[in-house]
Chains A and B, each alone.
Chain A
Amino acid sequence: MTSVLKGNFQAAKSVEAKDKPEADDLDSRFEREAMKKLGGSIAYVAKKKIKWAEDENP
């Protein structure tokens, strides 16, 4: 689109086209917000059990 639309004047400021329309950003942000509410209580870390502090190792 930007390649075919040309103005017949020089803009005072150059305007950069955004990669994605703002609506898409909003959609994905809302989706992310909705999805995170489905998250669990806390993390799971694979292959780990308990790490004792150095001064309390069994």
Chain B
Amino acid sequence: MSAGADSIGLQLVAKMGELTWDRHGPMAIANAERNLAFKNMGKSLAALRKEKLGEGDTAIVIAAGPSLKRQDPAKTLLERGYKGAVVTTESALLYCLRQGLVPDLTVTLDPHATRIVRWFGDPHLSEAALKADDYFSRQDMDRAFADEMAANREILALLDKYGPQIRIALSTSASDAVVNRVLESGMQVFWWNPMFDDPDDAASVTSKLQAMNRFPCVNAGGNVGSAAWMIAGEALSKAKVALTGVDFSYYAETPYRNTQYYKEAVDLVGEANLDQVYIRLHNPHLDAWFYTDPAYMWYRESFLEMARDADFQTFNCTGGGILFGEPINFCPLDDFLRNYA
């Protein structure tokens, strides 16, 4: 790893739990309270344990990291006739549907009021809104989002067509915009709560949330990709879960400006000090360098902890990024499919 222990980036990683609560905690709780009114518009995530999603004991998670467009895992899965379960993050839904791959399950989590609905198509998107927020156009992600209005029309149409075929693990923390769009498109809803704190403490926020709506509480590991992995292993009971598009980082040549937290990092330390915020890691499996920001570094560290506690095996078939280390099997997707699917 290339960052001093006293770097601003690593100091922020250590604070990430409380910063995440400050950023989204109250919003997520308020969303969950509001979403109680929609409880009967879907089932509990627990119902998925009785459904057979995909053949065999494997699942593939598709997330929308920068490797997605380089590795094109959906193409490989279709060519190989993969029959196991495909679980996507909502951010990878457009990519999958464009490739003709309808996932067995998609997952959404983040409570942001206006951004997350974009992955489902925002019926109220305007040019003015795009000018006010360049979050999507600035980042190194799905090229389909380069023309944002066109991409929005496309995902609206695709979800109107495929929505009823798609199961969604819908976090109670989701915004009203996301919930409205999910219900409007006819997706099959399976509700769950994200954990906020110790669910075994009767006085915890998580316990109170579960007492309110009776939905299962999932340790989401900070982000939707980790949540998808947890649900694949623990709710769908798949013995082997392979990850694609789970980079938790950027390719070394990516300009800072094209990263998710660029503007926020500039606001905190100034453009000249950005090297202090970003953290560089060498991936020994690929002999390549990647860099990441504090939130994604926190996701990585949290994921490794969760993987060590998991009762199922994890294979990282992303082909890039910084998620490596015990107990993760880092291998090409082709190898995983050949050996296990």
Residue of B nearest to A56 (CB): B46
Quick check: is B247 within 8 A (CB to CB) of the other chain?
A: no
Q: Which residues of A contact B226 (CB under 8 A)?
A: 44
**Centre residue among A41, A49, A50, A52 by max chain B CB count within 10 A:** A41
Query: Complex Cα distance A41/B221, Å?
Result: 9
Q: Which residues of B contact A49 (CB under 8 A)?
A: 218-219, 230, 234, 306, 309-310
Query: Complex Cα distance A40/B264, Å?
Result: 12
The 8 Å CB contact of A52, one of B17, B216, B268, is B216
Task: Report whether A42 and B110 are in contact in the complex, using a CB–CB cutoff of 8 Å.
Answer: yes
Q: Which residues of A contact B220 (CB under 8 A)?
A: 41-44
Query: Complex Cα distance A34/B309, Å?
Result: 34
Query: Complex Cα distance A40/B16, Å?
Result: 7
User: Which of under 10, 10 to 19, 20 to 34, or 35 or more describes the interface residues of B?
Assistant: 35 or more
Query: Complex Cα distance A47/B215, Å?
Result: 20
Query: Complex Cα distance A39/B109, Å?
Result: 15
Task: Report whether A38 and B24 are in contact in the complex, using a CB–CB cutoff of 8 Å.
Answer: no
Task: Report whether A48 and B195 are in contact in the complex, using a CB–CB cutoff of 8 Å.
Answer: yes
Q: Which of A7-58 contact B (CB under 8 A)?
A: 31-32, 34-53, 55-56, 58
Q: Which residues of A contact B119 (CB under 8 A)?
A: none
Which secondary structure characterizes the binding site on chain B? helix
Q: Which of B11-59 contact A (CB under 8 A)?
A: 12, 15-17, 19-25, 28, 44, 46, 49
Query: Complex Cα distance A38/B199, Å?
Result: 25
Q: Which residues of B contact A31 (CB under 8 A)?
A: 268
Residue of A nearest to B197 (CB): A45
Q: Which residues of A contact B215 (CB under 8 A)?
A: 53
Q: Given A38-B294, A51-B200, A51-B216, does the pair A43, B23 have CB atoms closer than 8 Å?
A: no
**Centre residue among A36, A47, A48 by max chain B CB count within 10 A:** A48
Quick check: is B323 within 8 A (CB to CB) of the other chain?
A: no
Task: Report whether B261 and A43 are in contact in the complex, using a CB–CB cutoff of 8 Å.
Answer: no
Q: Which residues of B contact A52 (CB under 8 A)?
A: 46, 216
Task: Report whether A39 and B218 are in contact in the complex, using a CB–CB cutoff of 8 Å.
Answer: no
Query: Complex Cα distance A36/B14, Å?
Result: 13
Q: Which of B218-245 contact A (CB under 8 A)?
A: 218-224, 226-227, 230, 234-235
Closest 10 CB pairs of A and B: A39-B23, A39-B19, A39-B20, A36-B22, A56-B46, A37-B264, A44-B302, A51-B199, A41-B110, A40-B222
